A and B are shown apart, each in its own frame.
Chain A
Protein backbone atom coordinates (compact mmCIF):
# COMPACT_ATOMS: atom_id res chain seq x y z
CA UNK A 1 0.00 0.00 0.00
CA UNK A 2 2.61 2.57 1.09
CA UNK A 3 4.92 1.41 -1.66
CA UNK A 4 2.13 2.02 -4.16
CA UNK A 5 1.47 5.55 -2.87
CA UNK A 6 5.20 6.25 -2.85
CA UNK A 7 5.44 5.08 -6.46
CA UNK A 8 2.57 7.33 -7.54
CA UNK A 9 4.07 10.32 -5.70
CA UNK A 10 7.41 9.73 -7.40
CA UNK A 11 5.59 9.61 -10.72
CA UNK A 12 4.05 13.04 -10.00
CA UNK A 13 7.39 14.52 -8.97
CA UNK A 14 9.09 13.16 -12.09
CA UNK A 15 6.34 13.99 -14.56
CA UNK A 16 5.66 17.63 -13.62
CA UNK A 17 9.13 18.94 -14.64
CA UNK A 18 9.03 16.78 -17.76
CA UNK A 19 5.67 18.31 -18.73
CA UNK A 20 7.10 21.79 -18.14
CA UNK A 21 10.08 21.14 -20.41
CA UNK A 22 8.01 19.41 -23.09
CA UNK A 23 5.42 22.18 -23.07
CA UNK A 24 8.08 24.86 -23.39
CA UNK A 25 9.93 23.21 -26.26
CA UNK A 26 6.69 22.22 -27.97
CA UNK A 27 5.94 25.90 -28.39
CA UNK A 28 9.52 26.85 -29.28
CA UNK A 29 9.64 24.31 -32.12
CA UNK A 30 6.10 24.94 -33.33
CA UNK A 31 6.27 25.15 -37.14
CA UNK A 32 4.35 28.39 -37.27
CA UNK A 33 7.36 30.05 -35.67
CA UNK A 34 9.36 29.29 -38.76
CA UNK A 35 6.78 30.01 -41.41
CA UNK A 36 7.62 33.29 -43.19
CA UNK A 37 5.08 35.92 -42.25
CA UNK A 38 3.53 33.46 -39.83
CA UNK A 39 2.30 33.94 -36.33
CA UNK A 40 5.75 34.39 -34.84
CA UNK A 41 4.98 37.48 -32.79
CA UNK A 42 6.22 35.96 -29.58
CA UNK A 43 9.58 35.39 -31.20
CA UNK A 44 9.59 38.84 -32.78
CA UNK A 45 8.84 40.47 -29.43
CA UNK A 46 12.23 39.38 -28.13
CA UNK A 47 11.06 36.10 -26.65
CA UNK A 48 14.09 34.29 -28.06
CA UNK A 49 15.32 32.73 -24.83
CA UNK A 50 16.14 29.23 -23.71
CA UNK A 51 14.54 27.04 -21.09
CA UNK A 52 17.38 27.71 -18.62
CA UNK A 53 16.71 31.44 -18.84
CA UNK A 54 13.07 30.76 -18.05
CA UNK A 55 13.98 28.52 -15.10
CA UNK A 56 16.32 31.20 -13.79
CA UNK A 57 13.54 33.77 -13.90
CA UNK A 58 11.15 31.42 -12.13
CA UNK A 59 13.48 30.55 -9.29
CA UNK A 60 15.29 33.87 -8.86
CA UNK A 61 12.42 36.31 -9.41
CA UNK A 62 9.37 34.11 -8.97
CA UNK A 63 8.36 35.33 -12.44
CA UNK A 64 6.42 32.72 -14.40
CA UNK A 65 6.28 34.84 -17.53
CA UNK A 66 3.93 37.29 -19.19
CA UNK A 67 1.25 36.89 -21.80
CA UNK A 68 0.44 40.08 -23.65
CA UNK A 69 1.45 42.21 -20.65
CA UNK A 70 -0.48 40.19 -18.08
CA UNK A 71 1.33 38.27 -15.39
CA UNK A 72 1.07 34.50 -15.78
CA UNK A 73 -0.10 33.85 -12.22
CA UNK A 74 -2.88 36.46 -12.44
CA UNK A 75 -3.88 35.22 -15.87
CA UNK A 76 -4.09 31.53 -15.06
CA UNK A 77 -5.04 31.22 -11.38
CA UNK A 78 -8.75 32.05 -11.56
CA UNK A 79 -9.38 30.13 -14.81
CA UNK A 80 -7.60 27.17 -13.26
CA UNK A 81 -10.01 27.08 -10.34
CA UNK A 82 -12.97 27.60 -12.68
CA UNK A 83 -11.92 24.56 -14.69
CA UNK A 84 -11.11 22.51 -11.61
CA UNK A 85 -14.56 23.28 -10.25
CA UNK A 86 -16.20 22.17 -13.50
CA UNK A 87 -14.16 18.96 -13.54
CA UNK A 88 -15.02 18.11 -9.94
CA UNK A 89 -18.74 18.66 -10.59
CA UNK A 90 -18.56 16.56 -13.76
CA UNK A 91 -16.84 13.72 -11.89
CA UNK A 92 -19.46 13.84 -9.15
CA UNK A 93 -22.26 13.68 -11.71
CA UNK A 94 -20.48 10.87 -13.54
CA UNK A 95 -20.00 8.84 -10.38
CA UNK A 96 -23.41 9.24 -8.79
CA UNK A 97 -25.49 9.24 -11.97
CA UNK A 98 -23.48 6.48 -13.61
CA UNK A 99 -23.71 4.06 -10.69
CA UNK A 100 -27.41 4.76 -10.13
CA UNK A 101 -28.27 4.32 -13.81
CA UNK A 102 -26.16 1.18 -13.97
CA UNK A 103 -28.08 -0.28 -11.05
CA UNK A 104 -31.39 0.67 -12.61
CA UNK A 105 -30.42 -0.97 -15.89
CA UNK A 106 -30.16 -4.41 -14.28
CA UNK A 107 -33.53 -6.01 -13.65
CA UNK A 108 -33.66 -7.45 -10.12
CA UNK A 109 -36.13 -10.16 -11.13
CA UNK A 110 -34.25 -11.70 -14.02
CA UNK A 111 -30.76 -10.63 -12.90
CA UNK A 112 -30.03 -9.49 -16.46
CA UNK A 113 -29.52 -6.13 -18.11
CA UNK A 114 -32.85 -4.83 -19.33
CA UNK A 115 -32.91 -4.52 -23.14
CA UNK A 116 -33.97 -0.90 -22.89
CA UNK A 117 -31.23 -0.16 -20.38
CA UNK A 118 -28.60 -1.63 -22.66
CA UNK A 119 -29.92 0.31 -25.62
CA UNK A 120 -30.06 3.62 -23.75
CA UNK A 121 -26.66 3.33 -22.09
CA UNK A 122 -25.03 2.25 -25.37
CA UNK A 123 -26.65 5.11 -27.23
CA UNK A 124 -25.70 7.58 -24.53
CA UNK A 125 -22.11 6.40 -24.45
CA UNK A 126 -21.90 7.03 -28.22
CA UNK A 127 -23.14 10.63 -28.15
CA UNK A 128 -20.38 13.11 -28.88
CA UNK A 129 -20.49 15.64 -26.05
CA UNK A 130 -21.07 18.58 -28.34
CA UNK A 131 -24.12 17.02 -30.00
CA UNK A 132 -26.28 17.59 -26.91
CA UNK A 133 -24.89 21.07 -26.44
CA UNK A 134 -25.40 21.78 -30.16
CA UNK A 135 -29.01 20.64 -30.05
CA UNK A 136 -29.74 22.84 -27.03
CA UNK A 137 -28.04 25.81 -28.68
CA UNK A 138 -29.96 25.20 -31.92
CA UNK A 139 -33.23 25.16 -29.96
CA UNK A 140 -32.26 28.37 -28.19
CA UNK A 141 -31.31 30.05 -31.48
CA UNK A 142 -34.62 29.04 -33.09
CA UNK A 143 -36.48 30.16 -30.00
CA UNK A 144 -34.91 33.60 -30.03
CA UNK A 145 -35.25 34.00 -33.81
CA UNK A 146 -38.80 32.78 -34.26
CA UNK A 147 -40.27 32.49 -30.77
CA UNK A 148 -40.08 36.17 -29.97
CA UNK A 149 -38.87 35.66 -26.42
CA UNK A 150 -36.74 38.34 -24.81
CA UNK A 151 -34.62 35.96 -22.75
CA UNK A 152 -33.31 32.48 -23.48
CA UNK A 153 -34.28 29.76 -21.07
CA UNK A 154 -30.68 28.76 -20.43
CA UNK A 155 -27.68 31.11 -20.43
CA UNK A 156 -25.48 30.17 -23.34
CA UNK A 157 -22.11 31.61 -22.45
CA UNK A 158 -19.89 32.63 -19.63
CA UNK A 159 -20.47 31.88 -15.98
CA UNK A 160 -22.61 33.42 -13.31
CA UNK A 161 -21.42 35.26 -10.22
CA UNK A 162 -24.45 34.82 -8.05
CA UNK A 163 -23.21 32.29 -5.49
CA UNK A 164 -19.45 32.74 -5.69
CA UNK A 165 -17.14 29.79 -5.32
CA UNK A 166 -13.84 29.86 -3.47
CA UNK A 167 -10.76 31.08 -5.44
CA UNK A 168 -12.59 31.23 -8.76
CA UNK A 169 -14.36 34.02 -10.61
CA UNK A 170 -17.49 31.97 -11.17
CA UNK A 171 -20.62 31.14 -9.25
CA UNK A 172 -22.92 28.22 -8.76
CA UNK A 173 -25.98 28.78 -10.93
CA UNK A 174 -27.64 27.67 -14.13
CA UNK A 175 -24.70 28.74 -16.29
CA UNK A 176 -23.28 25.39 -15.26
CA UNK A 177 -25.98 23.26 -16.88
CA UNK A 178 -24.83 23.34 -20.49
CA UNK A 179 -21.07 22.84 -19.89
CA UNK A 180 -21.88 19.99 -17.52
CA UNK A 181 -24.14 18.38 -20.14
CA UNK A 182 -21.33 18.43 -22.66
CA UNK A 183 -18.80 17.18 -20.11
CA UNK A 184 -20.63 14.62 -18.05
CA UNK A 185 -23.33 12.88 -20.08
CA UNK A 186 -21.13 10.59 -22.15
CA UNK A 187 -18.81 9.51 -19.26
CA UNK A 188 -21.88 9.06 -17.04
CA UNK A 189 -23.60 6.67 -19.43
CA UNK A 190 -20.30 4.92 -20.12
CA UNK A 191 -19.92 4.33 -16.39
CA UNK A 192 -23.55 3.18 -16.25
CA UNK A 193 -22.94 0.70 -19.04
CA UNK A 194 -19.84 -0.78 -17.44
CA UNK A 195 -21.50 -0.84 -14.00
CA UNK A 196 -24.47 -2.73 -15.41
CA UNK A 197 -22.14 -5.26 -17.06
CA UNK A 198 -20.14 -5.77 -13.86
CA UNK A 199 -23.28 -6.06 -11.76
CA UNK A 200 -24.81 -8.57 -14.14
CA UNK A 201 -21.80 -10.86 -14.00
CA UNK A 202 -21.56 -10.44 -10.23
CA UNK A 203 -25.22 -11.38 -9.72
CA UNK A 204 -24.60 -14.84 -11.16
CA UNK A 205 -22.19 -15.81 -8.41
CA UNK A 206 -22.98 -18.29 -5.70
CA UNK A 207 -22.99 -15.94 -2.74
CA UNK A 208 -25.75 -13.91 -4.41
CA UNK A 209 -27.79 -17.08 -4.80
CA UNK A 210 -27.28 -17.73 -1.09
CA UNK A 211 -28.40 -14.23 -0.22
CA UNK A 212 -31.48 -14.58 -2.41
CA UNK A 213 -32.43 -17.93 -0.93
CA UNK A 214 -32.12 -16.41 2.53
CA UNK A 215 -34.78 -13.99 1.41
CA UNK A 216 -32.76 -10.79 1.25
CA UNK A 217 -34.40 -8.00 -0.67
CA UNK A 218 -32.90 -7.09 -4.01
CA UNK A 219 -31.93 -3.60 -2.87
CA UNK A 220 -29.92 -5.14 -0.04
CA UNK A 221 -28.32 -7.64 -2.40
CA UNK A 222 -27.36 -4.82 -4.76
CA UNK A 223 -26.06 -2.33 -2.23
CA UNK A 224 -24.43 -4.43 0.44
CA UNK A 225 -23.43 -7.63 -1.33
CA UNK A 226 -22.71 -6.90 -4.96
CA UNK A 227 -21.71 -3.25 -4.57
CA UNK A 228 -18.70 -4.01 -2.39
CA UNK A 229 -17.27 -6.31 -5.00
CA UNK A 230 -17.69 -4.04 -7.98
CA UNK A 231 -16.78 -0.77 -6.26
CA UNK A 232 -13.04 -0.98 -6.93
CA UNK A 233 -13.35 -1.49 -10.72
CA UNK A 234 -15.87 1.37 -10.83
CA UNK A 235 -13.47 3.71 -9.04
CA UNK A 236 -10.68 2.78 -11.43
CA UNK A 237 -13.06 3.38 -14.32
CA UNK A 238 -13.94 6.80 -12.90
CA UNK A 239 -10.24 7.62 -12.78
CA UNK A 240 -9.99 6.68 -16.45
CA UNK A 241 -13.07 8.62 -17.46
CA UNK A 242 -11.44 11.72 -15.97
CA UNK A 243 -9.11 11.71 -18.98
CA UNK A 244 -12.10 12.05 -21.26
CA UNK A 245 -13.60 14.74 -19.05
CA UNK A 246 -10.35 16.74 -19.21
CA UNK A 247 -10.35 16.29 -23.00
CA UNK A 248 -13.99 17.32 -23.19
CA UNK A 249 -13.14 20.39 -21.11
CA UNK A 250 -11.53 21.96 -24.18
CA UNK A 251 -14.74 21.51 -26.17
CA UNK A 252 -17.15 22.53 -23.41
CA UNK A 253 -15.21 25.67 -22.53
CA UNK A 254 -14.82 26.68 -26.16
CA UNK A 255 -18.47 26.06 -26.87
CA UNK A 256 -19.90 27.99 -23.95
CA UNK A 257 -17.10 30.51 -23.33
CA UNK A 258 -16.50 29.16 -19.85
CA UNK A 259 -13.54 31.15 -18.52
CA UNK A 260 -11.19 28.26 -17.81
CA UNK A 261 -7.78 26.93 -18.80
CA UNK A 262 -9.17 24.56 -21.45
CA UNK A 263 -10.00 27.51 -23.68
CA UNK A 264 -6.49 28.95 -23.21
CA UNK A 265 -5.15 25.56 -24.20
CA UNK A 266 -7.01 25.61 -27.51
CA UNK A 267 -6.01 29.22 -28.18
CA UNK A 268 -2.40 28.31 -27.42
CA UNK A 269 -2.21 25.24 -29.65
CA UNK A 270 -4.71 25.45 -32.53
CA UNK A 271 -4.14 28.24 -35.04
CA UNK A 272 -7.43 28.62 -36.85
CA UNK A 273 -10.89 30.07 -36.64
CA UNK A 274 -11.11 29.23 -32.96
CA UNK A 275 -8.52 31.90 -32.20
CA UNK A 276 -10.82 34.90 -32.75
CA UNK A 277 -8.19 37.49 -32.16
CA UNK A 278 -6.56 35.61 -29.30
CA UNK A 279 -3.26 35.49 -31.15
CA UNK A 280 -1.29 36.58 -28.11
CA UNK A 281 -1.86 33.10 -26.68
CA UNK A 282 -0.81 31.17 -29.75
CA UNK A 283 2.36 29.07 -29.38
CA UNK A 284 3.42 31.00 -26.29
CA UNK A 285 6.15 28.87 -24.66
CA UNK A 286 5.59 29.99 -21.07
CA UNK A 287 1.82 29.66 -21.32
CA UNK A 288 1.93 26.19 -22.86
CA UNK A 289 4.44 25.02 -20.24
CA UNK A 290 2.22 26.33 -17.42
CA UNK A 291 -0.95 24.82 -18.90
CA UNK A 292 0.73 21.45 -19.46
CA UNK A 293 1.82 21.41 -15.82
CA UNK A 294 -1.63 22.39 -14.53
CA UNK A 295 -3.52 19.85 -16.62
CA UNK A 296 -0.98 17.14 -15.88
CA UNK A 297 -1.26 17.92 -12.17
CA UNK A 298 -5.05 17.55 -12.27
CA UNK A 299 -4.81 14.17 -13.99
CA UNK A 300 -1.95 12.82 -11.86
CA UNK A 301 -3.50 13.87 -8.55
CA UNK A 302 -6.86 12.43 -9.61
CA UNK A 303 -5.11 9.20 -10.55
CA UNK A 304 -3.48 9.09 -7.11
CA UNK A 305 -6.82 9.71 -5.39
CA UNK A 306 -8.56 7.07 -7.54
CA UNK A 307 -6.00 4.37 -6.81
CA UNK A 308 -6.05 5.21 -3.08
CA UNK A 309 -9.84 5.01 -3.04
CA UNK A 310 -9.80 1.75 -4.96
CA UNK A 311 -7.42 0.26 -2.41
CA UNK A 312 -9.55 1.46 0.46
CA UNK A 313 -12.66 0.03 -1.20
CA UNK A 314 -11.29 -3.42 -1.94
CA UNK A 315 -9.00 -5.16 0.59
CA UNK A 316 -8.07 -7.77 -2.03
CA UNK A 317 -6.14 -5.15 -3.98
CA UNK A 318 -3.92 -4.37 -1.00
CA UNK A 319 -2.45 -7.85 -0.85
CA UNK A 320 -0.96 -7.64 -4.31
CA UNK A 321 1.30 -4.74 -3.39
Chain B
Protein backbone atom coordinates (compact mmCIF):
# COMPACT_ATOMS: atom_id res chain seq x y z
CA UNK B 1 0.00 0.00 0.00
CA UNK B 2 1.43 3.41 -0.86
CA UNK B 3 2.06 5.77 2.00
CA UNK B 4 -0.60 8.27 1.11
CA UNK B 5 -3.30 5.91 -0.04
CA UNK B 6 -6.21 8.18 1.10
CA UNK B 7 -5.06 10.67 -1.54
CA UNK B 8 -4.92 7.92 -4.17
CA UNK B 9 -8.40 6.62 -3.38
CA UNK B 10 -9.78 10.14 -3.17
CA UNK B 11 -8.25 11.25 -6.46
CA UNK B 12 -9.43 8.08 -8.17
CA UNK B 13 -13.05 8.44 -7.02
CA UNK B 14 -13.22 12.18 -7.62
CA UNK B 15 -11.70 11.84 -11.11
CA UNK B 16 -14.16 9.06 -11.89
CA UNK B 17 -17.12 11.19 -10.87
CA UNK B 18 -15.80 14.19 -12.78
CA UNK B 19 -15.55 12.02 -15.88
CA UNK B 20 -19.10 10.79 -15.30
CA UNK B 21 -20.26 14.37 -14.82
CA UNK B 22 -18.67 15.48 -18.10
CA UNK B 23 -19.19 12.45 -20.35
CA UNK B 24 -21.98 10.59 -18.54
CA UNK B 25 -24.77 12.01 -20.67
CA UNK B 26 -22.97 10.84 -23.86
CA UNK B 27 -22.50 7.24 -22.86
CA UNK B 28 -25.95 6.89 -21.29
CA UNK B 29 -27.87 4.20 -23.17
CA UNK B 30 -31.35 5.76 -23.01
CA UNK B 31 -33.20 9.03 -22.64
CA UNK B 32 -33.32 9.91 -18.91
CA UNK B 33 -36.90 11.21 -19.07
CA UNK B 34 -38.38 8.43 -21.22
CA UNK B 35 -40.83 6.12 -19.47
CA UNK B 36 -40.82 2.65 -20.98
CA UNK B 37 -44.30 1.26 -21.40
CA UNK B 38 -43.53 -1.87 -23.45
CA UNK B 39 -44.43 -5.34 -22.22
CA UNK B 40 -41.24 -7.31 -21.61
CA UNK B 41 -40.93 -11.07 -21.05
CA UNK B 42 -37.95 -12.22 -19.01
CA UNK B 43 -37.29 -15.27 -16.82
CA UNK B 44 -40.90 -16.49 -17.07
CA UNK B 45 -42.16 -13.19 -15.75
CA UNK B 46 -43.87 -10.32 -17.50
CA UNK B 47 -42.69 -6.81 -16.80
CA UNK B 48 -44.14 -3.48 -17.83
CA UNK B 49 -41.47 -1.01 -16.64
CA UNK B 50 -43.92 1.81 -15.98
CA UNK B 51 -46.11 -0.41 -13.78
CA UNK B 52 -43.85 -3.18 -12.44
CA UNK B 53 -40.27 -1.89 -12.28
CA UNK B 54 -37.57 -4.24 -13.54
CA UNK B 55 -34.99 -5.30 -10.93
CA UNK B 56 -31.28 -4.92 -11.74
CA UNK B 57 -29.42 -7.65 -13.69
CA UNK B 58 -32.61 -9.14 -15.11
CA UNK B 59 -32.34 -7.63 -18.59
CA UNK B 60 -29.24 -6.55 -20.50
CA UNK B 61 -31.31 -3.71 -21.84
CA UNK B 62 -31.63 -2.24 -18.31
CA UNK B 63 -28.39 -3.18 -16.49
CA UNK B 64 -29.40 -1.52 -13.23
CA UNK B 65 -33.13 -1.96 -13.66
CA UNK B 66 -35.76 0.73 -13.95
CA UNK B 67 -37.03 3.20 -11.41
CA UNK B 68 -40.51 3.32 -9.93
CA UNK B 69 -42.07 5.02 -12.96
CA UNK B 70 -40.25 2.97 -15.59
CA UNK B 71 -37.15 4.96 -16.58
CA UNK B 72 -33.72 3.41 -17.00
CA UNK B 73 -31.84 3.75 -13.72
CA UNK B 74 -28.30 3.62 -15.18
CA UNK B 75 -29.11 6.48 -17.56
CA UNK B 76 -30.54 8.55 -14.77
CA UNK B 77 -27.55 7.91 -12.52
CA UNK B 78 -25.15 8.90 -15.30
CA UNK B 79 -27.10 12.09 -15.94
CA UNK B 80 -27.67 12.92 -12.29
CA UNK B 81 -24.04 13.33 -11.24
CA UNK B 82 -23.56 16.55 -13.21
CA UNK B 83 -26.35 18.72 -11.73
CA UNK B 84 -25.58 17.46 -8.23
CA UNK B 85 -21.88 18.31 -8.55
CA UNK B 86 -22.66 21.72 -10.05
CA UNK B 87 -25.00 22.50 -7.17
CA UNK B 88 -22.44 21.41 -4.61
CA UNK B 89 -19.71 23.51 -6.22
CA UNK B 90 -22.04 26.50 -6.26
CA UNK B 91 -22.90 26.01 -2.60
CA UNK B 92 -19.25 25.61 -1.60
CA UNK B 93 -18.29 28.69 -3.61
CA UNK B 94 -21.02 30.68 -1.85
CA UNK B 95 -19.84 29.39 1.53
CA UNK B 96 -16.27 30.34 0.69
CA UNK B 97 -17.22 33.82 -0.50
CA UNK B 98 -19.13 34.42 2.74
CA UNK B 99 -16.97 32.48 5.18
CA UNK B 100 -13.45 33.48 4.15
CA UNK B 101 -13.84 37.29 4.46
CA UNK B 102 -15.92 36.98 7.63
CA UNK B 103 -13.37 34.61 9.15
CA UNK B 104 -10.45 36.89 8.36
CA UNK B 105 -12.29 39.91 9.75
CA UNK B 106 -13.36 38.03 12.88
CA UNK B 107 -9.80 36.79 13.47
CA UNK B 108 -8.16 40.14 12.84
CA UNK B 109 -10.60 42.24 14.85
CA UNK B 110 -11.01 39.74 17.66
CA UNK B 111 -12.63 41.29 20.73
CA UNK B 112 -13.70 44.39 18.85
CA UNK B 113 -17.33 44.97 17.77
CA UNK B 114 -16.85 43.59 14.25
CA UNK B 115 -15.19 40.41 15.48
CA UNK B 116 -17.67 39.92 18.31
CA UNK B 117 -20.65 40.43 16.00
CA UNK B 118 -19.42 37.80 13.56
CA UNK B 119 -18.65 35.42 16.39
CA UNK B 120 -22.13 35.75 17.92
CA UNK B 121 -23.70 35.23 14.48
CA UNK B 122 -21.67 32.13 13.77
CA UNK B 123 -22.22 30.59 17.22
CA UNK B 124 -25.98 31.14 16.83
CA UNK B 125 -25.87 29.41 13.42
CA UNK B 126 -23.75 26.55 14.77
CA UNK B 127 -26.35 25.83 17.46
CA UNK B 128 -29.10 24.97 14.97
CA UNK B 129 -29.04 21.61 13.15
CA UNK B 130 -28.21 22.43 9.52
CA UNK B 131 -30.76 19.99 8.13
CA UNK B 132 -33.62 21.54 10.10
CA UNK B 133 -32.64 25.07 9.10
CA UNK B 134 -32.25 24.02 5.47
CA UNK B 135 -35.64 22.32 5.17
CA UNK B 136 -37.35 25.20 6.98
CA UNK B 137 -35.91 27.75 4.53
CA UNK B 138 -36.11 25.71 1.31
CA UNK B 139 -39.70 24.61 2.01
CA UNK B 140 -40.70 28.28 1.83
CA UNK B 141 -39.91 28.40 -1.89
CA UNK B 142 -42.63 26.86 -4.07
CA UNK B 143 -40.56 26.15 -7.19
CA UNK B 144 -37.21 25.43 -5.50
CA UNK B 145 -34.87 26.73 -8.22
CA UNK B 146 -31.13 26.06 -8.15
CA UNK B 147 -30.42 29.60 -6.91
CA UNK B 148 -32.49 29.03 -3.76
CA UNK B 149 -30.45 25.93 -2.90
CA UNK B 150 -27.15 27.72 -3.39
CA UNK B 151 -28.33 30.74 -1.42
CA UNK B 152 -29.82 28.83 1.52
CA UNK B 153 -27.09 26.19 1.86
CA UNK B 154 -24.44 28.87 1.46
CA UNK B 155 -25.99 31.18 4.03
CA UNK B 156 -26.41 28.51 6.71
CA UNK B 157 -23.13 26.66 6.20
CA UNK B 158 -20.33 29.21 6.13
CA UNK B 159 -19.49 28.88 9.84
CA UNK B 160 -17.00 26.01 9.53
CA UNK B 161 -14.88 27.87 6.98
CA UNK B 162 -15.15 31.10 8.98
CA UNK B 163 -14.09 29.44 12.25
CA UNK B 164 -11.10 27.74 10.61
CA UNK B 165 -9.79 30.90 8.96
CA UNK B 166 -10.51 32.95 12.07
CA UNK B 167 -8.14 30.74 14.06
CA UNK B 168 -5.55 30.83 11.25
CA UNK B 169 -5.71 34.63 11.09
CA UNK B 170 -5.28 34.90 14.85
CA UNK B 171 -2.11 32.80 14.62
CA UNK B 172 -0.76 34.73 11.64
CA UNK B 173 -1.48 38.11 13.23
CA UNK B 174 1.17 37.46 15.88
CA UNK B 175 3.89 36.64 13.32
CA UNK B 176 6.84 38.88 12.70
CA UNK B 177 6.15 39.60 9.05
CA UNK B 178 2.87 41.31 9.94
CA UNK B 179 4.72 43.62 12.30
CA UNK B 180 7.34 44.40 9.65
CA UNK B 181 4.62 45.15 7.13
CA UNK B 182 3.14 47.62 9.63
CA UNK B 183 6.56 49.16 10.17
CA UNK B 184 6.95 49.58 6.41
CA UNK B 185 3.72 51.56 6.39
CA UNK B 186 1.13 49.10 5.02
CA UNK B 187 -2.50 49.67 5.82
CA UNK B 188 -4.63 46.95 7.47
CA UNK B 189 -6.55 46.07 4.27
CA UNK B 190 -3.22 45.96 2.44
CA UNK B 191 -1.75 43.51 4.96
CA UNK B 192 -4.85 41.33 4.87
CA UNK B 193 -4.77 41.23 1.06
CA UNK B 194 -1.02 40.97 0.43
CA UNK B 195 0.23 39.01 3.43
CA UNK B 196 -2.60 37.13 5.16
CA UNK B 197 -4.77 35.94 2.27
CA UNK B 198 -1.99 34.25 0.23
CA UNK B 199 -1.14 32.12 3.26
CA UNK B 200 -4.51 30.39 2.97
CA UNK B 201 -4.22 29.00 -0.55
CA UNK B 202 -2.43 25.87 0.66
CA UNK B 203 -5.21 24.87 3.09
CA UNK B 204 -8.02 25.79 0.71
CA UNK B 205 -8.24 22.51 -1.30
CA UNK B 206 -8.55 20.46 1.91
CA UNK B 207 -11.30 22.69 3.26
CA UNK B 208 -13.11 22.65 -0.08
CA UNK B 209 -13.02 18.84 -0.26
CA UNK B 210 -14.51 18.46 3.22
CA UNK B 211 -17.12 21.14 2.53
CA UNK B 212 -18.10 19.39 -0.71
CA UNK B 213 -18.65 16.12 1.11
CA UNK B 214 -20.73 17.82 3.83
CA UNK B 215 -22.83 19.62 1.21
CA UNK B 216 -23.43 16.41 -0.71
CA UNK B 217 -24.68 14.66 2.41
CA UNK B 218 -26.97 17.57 3.20
CA UNK B 219 -28.31 17.54 -0.36
CA UNK B 220 -28.97 13.81 -0.09
CA UNK B 221 -30.87 14.26 3.16
CA UNK B 222 -32.88 17.13 1.70
CA UNK B 223 -33.67 15.01 -1.35
CA UNK B 224 -34.79 12.18 0.90
CA UNK B 225 -37.23 14.55 2.57
CA UNK B 226 -38.57 15.51 -0.86
CA UNK B 227 -36.76 18.83 -1.27
CA UNK B 228 -34.90 18.51 -4.55
CA UNK B 229 -34.01 21.04 -7.22
CA UNK B 230 -36.90 22.12 -9.39
CA UNK B 231 -40.61 21.47 -9.05
CA UNK B 232 -41.81 17.88 -9.15
CA UNK B 233 -44.47 16.32 -11.29
CA UNK B 234 -46.93 13.67 -10.24
CA UNK B 235 -46.94 10.51 -12.33
CA UNK B 236 -50.25 8.72 -12.72
CA UNK B 237 -50.81 5.10 -13.55
CA UNK B 238 -53.65 2.61 -13.85
CA UNK B 239 -55.28 1.70 -10.57
CA UNK B 240 -55.23 -2.08 -10.07
CA UNK B 241 -58.43 -1.95 -8.00
CA UNK B 242 -60.62 0.24 -10.17
CA UNK B 243 -60.95 1.62 -13.66
CA UNK B 244 -59.45 4.99 -12.82
CA UNK B 245 -55.92 6.26 -12.46
CA UNK B 246 -53.94 6.82 -9.25
CA UNK B 247 -50.82 8.77 -8.43
CA UNK B 248 -47.80 6.45 -8.68
CA UNK B 249 -45.19 8.86 -7.49
CA UNK B 250 -44.01 12.41 -7.36
CA UNK B 251 -40.86 12.76 -9.39
CA UNK B 252 -39.11 15.04 -11.82
CA UNK B 253 -37.94 14.63 -15.41
CA UNK B 254 -34.73 16.36 -14.44
CA UNK B 255 -32.39 13.68 -13.04
CA UNK B 256 -30.60 14.67 -9.86
CA UNK B 257 -29.29 12.45 -7.08
CA UNK B 258 -31.34 14.14 -4.36
CA UNK B 259 -34.49 13.73 -6.42
CA UNK B 260 -33.73 10.05 -6.98
CA UNK B 261 -33.80 9.51 -3.22
CA UNK B 262 -37.15 11.21 -2.71
CA UNK B 263 -40.60 9.60 -2.47
CA UNK B 264 -39.07 6.96 -0.27
CA UNK B 265 -42.17 5.21 1.04
CA UNK B 266 -43.44 4.41 -2.44
CA UNK B 267 -40.07 3.36 -3.87
CA UNK B 268 -39.23 1.15 -0.94
CA UNK B 269 -41.80 -1.49 -1.85
CA UNK B 270 -41.78 -1.02 -5.63
CA UNK B 271 -38.12 -0.51 -6.44
CA UNK B 272 -35.90 -0.69 -3.34
CA UNK B 273 -32.82 -1.01 -5.57
CA UNK B 274 -33.29 2.54 -6.86
CA UNK B 275 -32.90 3.99 -3.38
CA UNK B 276 -29.92 1.74 -2.59
CA UNK B 277 -28.12 2.58 -5.85
CA UNK B 278 -28.60 6.34 -5.63
CA UNK B 279 -27.59 6.36 -1.97
CA UNK B 280 -24.50 4.28 -2.82
CA UNK B 281 -23.54 6.75 -5.54
CA UNK B 282 -23.86 9.59 -3.05
CA UNK B 283 -21.84 7.60 -0.54
CA UNK B 284 -19.02 6.99 -3.05
CA UNK B 285 -18.90 10.69 -3.92
CA UNK B 286 -18.84 11.75 -0.28
CA UNK B 287 -16.24 9.11 0.50
CA UNK B 288 -14.09 10.28 -2.41
CA UNK B 289 -14.16 13.89 -1.29
CA UNK B 290 -13.48 12.93 2.35
CA UNK B 291 -10.53 10.78 1.32
CA UNK B 292 -9.22 13.53 -0.94
CA UNK B 293 -9.37 16.02 1.93
CA UNK B 294 -7.68 13.58 4.28
CA UNK B 295 -4.96 12.79 1.76
CA UNK B 296 -4.27 16.44 1.04
CA UNK B 297 -3.97 17.13 4.74
CA UNK B 298 -1.51 14.28 5.19
CA UNK B 299 0.49 15.35 2.18
CA UNK B 300 0.93 18.84 3.55
CA UNK B 301 2.06 17.51 6.91
CA UNK B 302 4.62 15.33 5.15
CA UNK B 303 5.88 18.27 3.14
CA UNK B 304 5.97 20.41 6.26
Contact = CB atoms under 8 A, between A and B. Distances in A.
Interface of A: 15, 26, 30-32, 35, 115, 118-119, 122-123, 125-131, 134-135, 137-138, 141-142, 240, 243-244, 246-248, 250-251, 254-255, 265-266, 269-274, 276, 295, 299-300, 303
Contacts, number: 130
Contact of A118 (B128, B249, B264, B294): B294
Interface in B257-279: 261-266, 268-269, 272-273, 275-276, 279
Contacts of A138: 268, 272-273, 275-276
Contacts of B136: 26, 269
Interface of B: 1, 5-6, 9, 126-132, 135-136, 139-142, 213, 217, 220-221, 224-227, 232, 249-250, 261-266, 268-269, 272-273, 275-276, 279-280, 282-283, 286-287, 290-291, 294
Q: Which applies to chain A's interface (DSSP): helix, strand, loop or mixed?
A: helix
A8 to B, nearest CB: 11
Given A130-B279, A273-B262, A31 B140 contact: yes
Contacts of A31: 140-142
A295 B130 CA distance: 13
Given A35-B142, A122-B6, A126-B287, A266 B225 contact: yes
User: By CB atoms of chain A within 10 A, which of B213, B224, B250, B290 has the most?
Assistant: B224
Contacts of A135: 276
Contacts of B275: 130, 134, 138
A247 B136 CA distance: 12
A56 B127 CA distance: 29
Contacts of A276: 265
Given A130-B224, A247-B131, 7 more contacts: A30-B139, A31-B140, A122-B294, A131-B282, A247-B129, A269-B136, A276-B265
Given A271-B139, A276-B265, A254 B225 contact: yes
Contacts of B232: 272
A273 B250 contact: yes
A300 B140 CA distance: 25
